[in-house]
Amino acid sequence: MEKNEALKFEVIKKDKKTGARLSVLHLPHGDVEAPVFMPVGTQATVKSMTPEELKNEVKTSLILSNTYHLYLRPGHELIKEAGGLHKFMNWDRNILTDSGGFQVFSLSDMRKITEEGVEFKSHIDGSKHFISPEKSMEIQNFLGSDIMMAFDECAPYGASRKYVEDSMNMTTRWAKRCKDYHKNTENQALFGIVQGGFYKDLRKQSAEDLIKLDFPGYAIGGISVGEPKEEFLDILRYTAPLLPEDKPRYLMGVGTPDYLIEAVIAGVDMCDCVLPTRMARNGSALTHYGKLNMLNACHEHDFTTLDKDCDCYTCKNYTRAYIRHLFKTQEILGARLLSIHNLRFLVKLMEDVRQAIRDDCLLEFRDSFYKKYGYED
Amino acid sequence: MEKNEALKFEVIKKDKKTGARLSVLHLPHGDVEAPVFMPVGTQATVKSMTPEELKNEVKTSLILSNTYHLYLRPGHELIKEAGGLHKFMNWDRNILTDSGGFQVFSLSDMRKITEEGVEFKSHIDGSKHFISPEKSMEIQNFLGSDIMMAFDECAPYGASRKYVEDSMNMTTRWAKRCKDYHKNTENQALFGIVQGGFYKDLRKQSAEDLIKLDFPGYAIGGISVGEPKEEFLDILRYTAPLLPEDKPRYLMGVGTPDYLIEAVIAGVDMCDCVLPTRMARNGSALTHYGKLNMLNACHEHDFTTLDKDCDCYTCKNYTRAYIRHLFKTQEILGARLLSIHNLRFLVKLMEDVRQAIRDDCLLEFRDSFYKKYGYED
């Protein structure tokens, strides 16, 4: 390396049976132990949470924020003016921003994709916008995130081989343009994103082409997009080992406990998902004994805690009966208490996974977790 | 007193010019300095807040909760089963519950008032209910609040003299029935409520009749119900001095800074209002320099704090631009940050009022506060 780079990746230990990695990402806003689950703060806030709660209750040191949303509101210029995203949202630990690509394709109206970039209409007010790889870099540079993602197209599940192949090749060309544009590598690490849908040869080609571009980290995009679990696992287990041993591997948009555990076993270091906070706002709790719908009548007179194996603020202080009351009466505190719990649940799951790697018992940990949780497989 | 009563009231000092009182209410869940503003936790939660935030950020030790709402959801039997309201909501400081009367009259449908009590339909599901003075006591006994209110009728603003007089006399008879029913006086102090609308002779009679019943504290009900400010002040200043010097005086439903200050000057010790939390959820902030609507465009690029004279968590950590962004994007954290600020603002106002009483300069404090805030009078 010619100069000081934003990310230094250190593999501490591997699980003997699976090869799953325990590692540390040394980043501008502190060290992050991996495997790690990243809470999502779409609009410069992890929904319902303060930064202090993320630090002290959830115990997280890396969150994700969405370039597409921040570009539309409040705008990346305003965030730059505020001194960057960390300062704007009062978060002094690390932030990863996505490229905006996924949301442009999944949320906006009237997309027109060309080699140059994507024209789209805002899902908020219908206004027209254009994001190119260079524009995505500019936005993420203005936001000042610690890890940035290259602008990619995530081909929809079920797309033809021809579509996926063309899209994957364009994503590689876009990745090159992102790397050429991005100069602030001392403060912001840029990851490439492997695409290729559910075609293994395309995944292989995508990985090889991106590795040639030498990114400090690599993501796996375009899986966990609605496919059956076997297909997910098949592509995950094929793709992860294609990526360099000495760089972090990030599986995008994954957040159920079983997908997280399987991802780590496959060699993944980082995951993110809106699932824990979205479930929380709908009154659903993740627990070691399966999912709970807090609106169910069975909780009405239940004065026990949500999850007796959880160490979070909610589980230490409140009963199921009270949490149910908060959801029945649509009180904001209900969403807050379940958000803290669900986020802590997944962050703690990754802490336990790291301990299992330390102890060389990741498969045993998985089996016992699945049994308690009630998973079939 | 024959036995240990729930409330011991101690006047510490009076402001020399106004006679406004600095006092302490010794209550089962700790001491409360007065004049005091009580945050409202209608449904066993002060909207959007945790108990820790109420203690550590807002710095409050007495909140109000609503009997009508808790009776309907989750039900007072369930709260009794939970070990009482304090335990149910995880709040170990003091709680005052209202009688349910005001909400029965303002929220429910199809009310039928008789000497026996009030029949009404729930505003939630239309189910039929009946609350008598005895029932209100039973509910509040089950809730286990530190201060209970006698069941009263709050006559609507503009009611005829005949209506107000009959209503006031019935409220006195109901107060007697409440006192006769309530046995748990060691743990719960029962306050009477002076009614009489905007007729001074009726106010006088109501006060005299209730004083004969010897309650440990008295409330002024039925003002701040939509009347012009001069009428409010006239009845407030007439009624407060009618009440015993050695008992706390509680003005119900008042929460604008000027009404709070005028109430204290008139001799009032306690106030409550949903205003700070309701304003917060609508994006309005109370500040020393007047009200702010955070949705206004003028805050878009404003990287200063909400209120430079405020010591709250929100003012210490966030900019107006960020708070505006949270409201524009309808993020829960916006309501949280303004709820903390608005509640702290009124609690701190009462702290400043207490200091002014200590220093014998309450009128000077009022004038300087009004000038900064931008009040005309």
pLDDT for B133-152, tens place per residue? 999 999 999 999 999 999 99
Average pLDDT over residues B244-257: 97
Residues in a beta bridge with B8: B26
What pLDDT digit, counting tens, does each position of B305-324 carry? Answer: 999 999 999 999 999 999 99
Residues in a beta bridge with A334: none
Compute CA A325 distance to the chain's CA centroid, rounded to the nearest angstrom. Answer: 31
3-state class of A286 per DSSP?
strand
- Residues of chain A found within 8 Å of residue B48, distances taken between Cβ atoms: 332-333, 336
Q: Residue A298 CB: number of other CB atoms within 10 A?
A: 10
* CB pair distance less than 8 Å for B300 and A78: yes
pLDDT for residue A3:
65
Q: Which chain A residue has the Cα nearest residue B325?
A: A74
Pick from B69, B301, B335: which is nearest to A332 by CB? B335
Separation of alpha carbons B307 and B312, rounded Å: 9
Q: Are A194 and A219 in contact (CB under 8 A)?
A: yes
pLDDT for residue A199:
98
Give the ranges where chain A is alpha helix by DSSP (H): 51-53, 67-72, 76-81, 85-89, 101-106, 133-143, 161-181, 200-212, 229-239, 257-265, 275-281, 313-317, 320-328, 332-358, 362-373
More confident residue, A103 or B352: B352
Task: Say whether pLDDT at B4 is over 90.
Answer: no
| Regions of chain A where pLDDT drops below 70 | 1-3, 376-377
Written as one letter, the residue type at A122 is: S
The candidate with the shortest Cα–Cα distance to B10, out of B38, B33, B40, is B33
- Chain B nearest-CA distance from A25, in A, is 28
pLDDT for residue B376:
59
pLDDT for residue B272:
98
Residue A258 known to be catalytic: no
- Interface probe with A: pick from B85, B329, B343, most Cβ of A within 10 Å: B329
Separation of alpha carbons A17 and A13, rounded Å: 12
pLDDT band (50, 70, 90) for residue B45: very high
**ipTM of this complex:** 0.97
Q: Are B47 and B67 in contact (CB under 8 A)?
A: no
* CB pair distance less than 8 Å for A322 and B47: no
Q: Which helix (H) or strand (E) holds B202?
A: helix B200-213
* Torsion sign over Cα B290, B293, B297, B300: positive
Separation of alpha carbons A176 and A208, rounded Å: 13
Residue B272 known to be catalytic: yes
Number of H helices, E strands in chain B: 15, 16
Size of interface A-B (CB pairs under 8 A): 94
Percent helix, percent strand, percent coil in chain A, to nearest 5: 45, 20, 40
What pLDDT digit, counting tens, does each position of A320-374 carry? Answer: 999 999 999 999 999 999 999 999 999 999 999 999 999 999 999 999 999 999 9
Task: Say whether pLDDT at B1 is over 50.
Answer: no
pTM value?
A: 0.97
- Give the pair of three-digit tokens for residue A116: 């140059």
pLDDT for residue A1:
44
* CB pair distance less than 8 Å for A318 and B74: no
